[in-house]
Amino acid sequence: MGLGLCAVLEGDIKSAIEQYDFLDIARTSNQWAGYSSMLVSRLAGLLANTKGDLDKAVEHLEDSLAFCRKASYRPELAWTCYDYADVLLKRGEDLDQANAMSLLDESLTISSDLVMGPLMKRVVALQEHFQPVKPLGYLDGLTQRETEVLKLVAVGKSNQEIARDLVIGQGTVANHVTSILNKADLNNRTEAAAYAIRNGLTN
């Protein structure tokens, strides 16, 4: 599995083919079960993507997705949604883009809840590449305090935690969050986090 991950990260097609064949033999011989089976399916999908077999990649990532949802493995589900969406957008068949955007929304929701910063950035970048959003400008007239609140929302802090960090009341935080959503034309905290990333407000 380590060699397989290296092949994916390096974009090494030859190695990806070799490691995919090895994993395929291991999968069909029932050497893996449970959580390990899910990891193998996801890696097989990544390897298939690397070697250019997008249909096989979809097949494997669908298996991984189903397992993650059934077992409620949320971090792995977030990554699988992202990987699956990436493959669908490359394949570009009918409904692939719509399905990919749905998967990216799911990935962003989970990664925001779990404060998975690197994944959040990847998801937002992929969304914008294939479905450019209307530029929101810089902070849409947010005040300095609203900007401070937005930064903390983007890293997954609750109103209570934000109130403690900024030494203000929770009601005041709630009012700031409402104002942020209204000014930036956002629907929820997940979209606010994505907005903060787009505007370079996160590390």
pLDDT tens by residue, 76-128 = 999 999 999 999 999 988 889 889 988 998 898 888 888 898 998 899 888 87
Inter-residue contact 7 to 45 (CB < 8 Å)? no
> Domain segments of the chain: what residues?
2-130, 139-198
| CA distances in angstroms from 143 to 11, 23, 81, 135, 165, listed in the order given | 44, 53, 35, 19, 17
Q: Give dist(CA 109, CA 175) in Å, integer.
A: 22
Are 197 and 124 in contact, with CB atoms under 8 Å apart?
Answer: yes
Task: Give whole-number Cα distances, 39 to 2, 4, 45, 142, in Å.
Answer: 12, 11, 10, 43
120 touches 108 (CB < 8 A): yes
Which residue pairs from 52-56 have beta carbons closer than 8 angstroms and sit at least 24 positions apart in sequence?
A: 52/13, 54/87, 54/90, 54/91, 55/91
For domain 139-198, the CATH architecture is: Orthogonal Bundle (1.10)
Cβ count within 10 A of residue 72:
8
The Cα 124–Cα 118 span in angstroms is: 10
Quote the CA–CA distance of 52 and 25 in Å, as a whole number.
Answer: 19
pLDDT band at residue 136, thresholds of 50, 70 and 90? Answer: very low
CATH superfamily of 2-130: Tetratricopeptide repeat domain (1.25.40.10)
Give me the mean pLDDT over the 153-175 stretch: 91
pTM higher than the cut 0.85: no
pLDDT at 188 over 60: yes
